[in-house]
Amino acid sequence: MTYYDWLFKESDEEKEIQEKIDREQEWFKRQPAYKKHEKNLETLLGRLKEAGKKRREEAEKHKPKRRVKAKHISEEEMAKFREQNRLEKEARIDALPEPLRSIIRGYEALPDEAKRVFRKETWVYEPDYDNYKDPVTTEKDMKELLEILVQTTIDFINERKLTDIYSVGFGADDLQSSAEAGEWICSTDASIHVTGLGKEKGRDGHEYTVCQNIGSYM
């Protein structure tokens, strides 16, 4: 057995214990108390869904009249902005010392699959920023913004019937320029990345559920 076999493949003992857990759960689900619990829970979840729907309908009535117009940026403007970003990136890389510059250039020359493996094997999260002194934005602001973004994404998925989305990553910079303008202007660079859950066969021949790239837009 390889390292990955030991890491991912269930042992006979684990399978036996899981079977006992499944039987125990099936027995419990047949009990009157559980059935009553399920019925009460279903009723409460239905009420919760309706309450949330009413709140969002009320929110629509208070939505600001001026809405963000993301599509007003022409393709020509966006192309110029991307080219400017590319040239600035090239200049930053050229200013780096060796061997860092060579590593970056080598990575850029890799095929997409090799890049994916490289990112997977070398990824480490290390924040690069110092703490902001005396921020106006509070944790409550961030929490409520997150709630809006997640709920908007959920509503969009349901309205479009997009059944393959597992995760969405969204990023935008220089937001203050657009905030001052009251709409999305070209100085704000934004991007979105979407993944779904797919099947992939491992070296052991077993099929695993893994995240797979659906696409990006920027």
Specify if 186 maps to a domain.
Answer: yes
Domain count, the chain: 1
Specify if 95 maps to a domain.
Answer: no
Specify if 131 maps to a domain.
Answer: no
CA 114 to centroid of chain Cα atoms? 22
Report, as ranges of residue numbers, the positions in the chain whose pLDDT lies below 50: 67-71
State pLDDT tens for residues 150-177: 988 998 999 899 999 999 999 999 999 8
Specify if 86 maps to a domain.
Answer: no
pTM, rounded to two decimals = 0.47
- Find, among 215, 175, 176, 160, the residue nearest to 192 by Cα: 215
Specify if 50 maps to a domain.
Answer: no
Provide the domain limits for residue 218.
136-218
State pLDDT tens for residues 31-43: 999 889 888 988 9
